[in-house]
Chain A
């Protein structure tokens, strides 16, 4: 008797992932919280390509000819704008989600390559202030650890309205990461699940924000640039409102942006891709005739030199990187480096129910490579020296790729890259970025085929 063949026809609507999701929901009665950013396929900068120089454009020699990367942020009102050697900055990530060693590594590497780092929810640590030549201090809804001395110690202040991974949502630091030091900085009991508010406590709308920004300016005698960071949703309107409120710099964080711990339903379902957001942000600045007067930083899924170059060509003045930075430090690697040797970490990934290359378990505080942890043993797995060396290499590589692309497009300054240098490989990217589909002059929604 022949065996009955097994049907393996998977449902599109109820595939294994969806079945898993429903099973988990039924088992726990709670939504999932995780770290990192959106995992789904989204239109991104890979869907754009540069039109290098040829007969119609004159290229610069790829290695020798000068190509400036100097970047100045905060020229609108601040007496002391931020001057960076490269347009690639480190995005805000909190001490609490990251270990103190990691914060120090970020500061060291950023200082060596001449760029800025950013604090996160939970305040400024002495380690990061000391190691960072240029430090942006975030003013978040929770105001955990926020204090006037650190405002005065900062080089710029970033008022965070939202984050690309969770626009409209607050934050969560699960109890296992609320160590004595983290709890002390946040004025909370140790070990509790700490929630971060989604709204600022002392202002409610854009008119209030204008006064809040003025308070920060008055407080710092108009010296420091004030950034406003928004998660990408109604980006055109939000950027306009941020400019009206008096921002020197607007930071737009697309939905690929990472987080230490957020509901998966936010990460995957709220916000718009960075590619769409950067175009809306630039449109808003151009509409207000503020392009170049208010600087734009773009973040959310910036991984490579070409990503940086494309963001700049689209009109950003700089980018900010979070997840790429963590990966450079060893996130999702199968080993860590301790006491002079590489040690396997796969068993620790398994214990979390994941594997190297697939991990998004920052929320657990049990990072196998010692990055997103407050555990005294685990955090030894990443020393500031080791982390800084790798991060510096990563940032240098991105910058080299950026300049070599700029030269190929005939630019002596990376800020001269322009939209005209780009075409899109897909209809979606062409429509979102409003650049022509490759080989045509067609921009969906704008021109004719």
Chain B
């Protein structure tokens, strides 16, 4: 199956340009085309899941038939701050420094 057929036949196809815009990722036209091709192939593969007849089967939010898994409200120490901030690209006053956030 070609990627074009895959997209045409499936409304749930991934629009790479749109998703990249949502995720604030700049893609070159070449990257966009390449990722589109690759993701279309992935979607076409996953679409096999549509083949079984599921009419009359109640939808579920989870594949495991277990409910009510909770933990007690007991605090425990987290990570060492040095360890946490070691992963920050830049630090300002103990904060992760990031590009200016607009409100």
Q: Do A and B interact with each other, yes or no?
A: no
- Which of A's residues lie within 8 Å of B, judged by CB? none
